[in-house]
Structure 1
């Protein structure tokens, strides 16, 4: 293997930096290897990639790293050992090795960007897929270049104690809020205070149960607390979402907002609702069939520009993956894992809506269970919280429905059930005093406290 057998096209790399980090490992050993935090793929020259892989093997096996050991472990492999001996002679300090490794890493990223740009150019002319797929795949390729894992070492747990105590004291003093309340008291108790940063929350139900309305109220409650929130609708338009928001916050009948037939008192409520919305940090976006890459791009922009901390995505089964897979189940797994990754990367709560399968309708007990999650077993693995809604009792004309909400999974708290009061004409949800253990029947509705009244 000859180190000078390089591709003839223009390339981006530093021969000196690559030689220096290999020389550092050959002279200093494992400490230099750990300090550089490089992978073989980051080197441009093939000979350097091969040498790095072999040195990794020796280090992980607890052996010495030098030219003799390399020759022994690579016996039978074609190699210019005079060249390798020259690398060993290029001694550098540990501090210098870190700087040289940074140069190698930056050049690797530059080459990755050049490669992504070529791929994007090819995608732009690929008429075998839709323009939406071309855009989505192009964005994914470019985002893969800019995404870089932070370099950090594993530390003993004692290193985290000081930060733990500071955070605990700040919570006790009220300087920070550990969770953002939903303002449905029983739910907040189960969720140990409410929704948290870096969480993926699944809200699942059969069609027409009210999962979109429920999730929209979560976003509205956050915004009313002064915490920016966003709702991405792939089924409803921004006009429909605005109707529901005004109905909720102004207690104006949704049917009247659709037809314009409102009484004088209802017009006053509309005016009050609209006035309350003017400075509300709630952002609505409607786009059918969004891809995961598009959702992540929009979310990143909202976090950067407006400090959004909660994003509702309505809903999983309407989203598209990268477009490169045939199996829908695999595509949905990609979306749920990407949604969890988005929550962690951006430090936000992602509320992802999902449909339940039809099996729940065939049972006499309407309570959903984990296996009712439609098409995608990855939901159970990736979600931090899973909430499943069902209709416990349908209200008479003009009366509220009683909905059940099962907390099927909760990493940071308890599981259990919460009875909810739902006024459909106002799209308002609150906690109900009605027992979900009692048989569902038409009766005078139990008292409730609506989250929108806090």
Structure 2
């Protein structure tokens, strides 16, 4: 191997991390251990710092506009260096290992210098060398000391629950949707699951909370129809896109920058859903993800039973909510006994699971709780005093 070969590999790895992450920002979830110090090319190091600190950087142009040290040659290399996840992970591991070797060389060189100048005994140099290597080894583990965990918790501060905009629902959720946890809203077939999520999505958008709405059934755009109709103060059945009196509304509405984002993908797998949520998190900074609905997440491969696979998909969403410190809400169907259809794995993964209960043909609803890790299981409403009801315009759910 020539002397140039290792540095060529290093630069190729650095470019691949930049190019691949620009193409798919969700790769950042696998690259949290990479810092600018892992780069040997200073322009790449500065570019990596900008890329990880600014979620608005999504292409080479925006990356270059934020830094004058990227030459044409470096930019071209980044552009040509977009790879699949497996290659990115290999590049990451290579850069971690080469950084460790550089640090070991510095430690060894410093120890040899101390020996050569005769200012320290061999015993003290050996002791210092052992301590330096021990410190380096400690830096390679993902484990954190209790002190570091406590400091991280303090720096993070409190993450208050996010209100759904429906007081009775907030009550059973112990204040609202809790960041870092999975929340569930379950109901019988055709009892208003999608309408509830569209109501929550609209309420969140009014407070400018970045939200991703994932729809796995119905037609694309159905949730937006509820929201548009509510904005126009009409029923969605009466939407007429050619009404002259609505022309001014549509001219403004279509050009308004919004914080609500949609993903409509029936048949999505759990792995695909995870990737899409990560993409939305890094691209738009979403704080809440709404998924309609749990049993429609496709269960691919493996020998596990359907119940086991559904439990895995729920646990994946719970882990992702914790990792990103966002609130994820999924709806799901109840069976005739009032339990989640197809298995109760979601009850083990979710922080709070609420039941939305309506009698046949009634616009009124009550809430109760199947499981809660935020405090006592709460209920709201009764047949004579409902908690919420379906109202116009839209329609949408509102407190009764």
Shorter-normalised TM-score: what interval?
A: 0.5 to 0.7
**CA distance, structure 1, for counterparts of residue 177 and residue 375 of structure 2:** 11
Alpha-carbon deviation of 1:201?
Answer: 0.6
Alpha-carbon deviation of 1:310?
Answer: 0.5
**CA distance, structure 1, for counterparts of residue 359 and residue 242 of structure 2:** 31
1:332 aligned to which of 310, 315, 322 = 310
Gaps of 5+ in 1: 1-88, 106-148, 169-176, 360-367, 396-400, 433-454
Q: Please name the residue that 1:341 is paired with.
A: 319
Q: Please name the residue that 1:225 is paired with.
A: 207
Alpha-carbon deviation of 1:218?
Answer: 1.4
**Residue 131 of structure 2 corresponds to residue 94 of structure 1:** yes
Report the CA distance shift for 1:320/1:393 in structure 2 as closer, same or farther (over 3 A). closer
Q: Please name the residue that 2:40 is paired with.
A: none
Equivalenced residues, count: 270
Any conservation in 1 of the 2:168–2:388 contact (CA below 8 Å)?
Answer: no
**CA distance, structure 2, for counterparts of residue 290 and residue 311 of structure 1:** 15
**CA distance, structure 2, for counterparts of residue 343 and residue 222 of structure 1:** 17
Alpha-carbon deviation of 1:200?
Answer: 0.4
**Residue 394 of structure 2 corresponds to residue 431 of structure 1:** no
Report the CA distance shift for 1:253/1:156 in structure 2 as closer, same or farther (over 3 A). closer
- Superposed, which structure 2 residues align to 1:314-333 within 5 Å? 314-333=292-311
More relative contact order in 1 or in 2 (CA 8 Å, sep 6+)? 2
Any conservation in 1 of the 2:180–2:325 contact (CA below 8 Å)?
Answer: yes
Gaps of 5+ in 2: 1-125, 382-386
Q: Please name the residue that 2:380 is paired with.
A: 417
Q: Which of the two has higher C-alpha Rg? A: 1
Alpha-carbon deviation of 1:156?
Answer: 11
Alpha-carbon deviation of 1:206?
Answer: 1.2
Any conservation in 2 of the 1:246–1:273 contact (CA below 8 Å)?
Answer: no
Alpha-carbon deviation of 1:379?
Answer: 1.3
Any conservation in 2 of the 1:199–1:383 contact (CA below 8 Å)?
Answer: yes
Alpha-carbon deviation of 1:95?
Answer: 2.6
- Superposed, which structure 2 residues align to 1:131-280 within 5 Å? 150-155=142-147, 163=154, 167=157, 178-257=160-239, 260=240, 267=246, 271=249, 275=253, 278-280=256-258
Q: Please name the residue that 2:358 is paired with.
A: 391
Report the CA distance shift for 1:376/1:91 in structure 2 as closer, same or farther (over 3 A). farther
Any conservation in 2 of the 1:232–1:311 contact (CA below 8 Å)?
Answer: yes
TM-score normalised to the size of structure 2?
0.60
1:239-281 Cα distance to aligned partner (Å, 9 max, x none): 2222122123332211122xx398777x47x927972982220
Alpha-carbon deviation of 1:151?
Answer: 2.1
Which shifted more, 236-245 or 271-280? 271-280
**CA distance, structure 2, for counterparts of residue 162 and residue 339 of structure 1:** 22
Q: Please name the residue that 1:13 is paired with.
A: none
TM-score normalised to the size of structure 1?
0.53
**CA distance, structure 2, for counterparts of residue 208 and residue 336 of structure 1:** 22
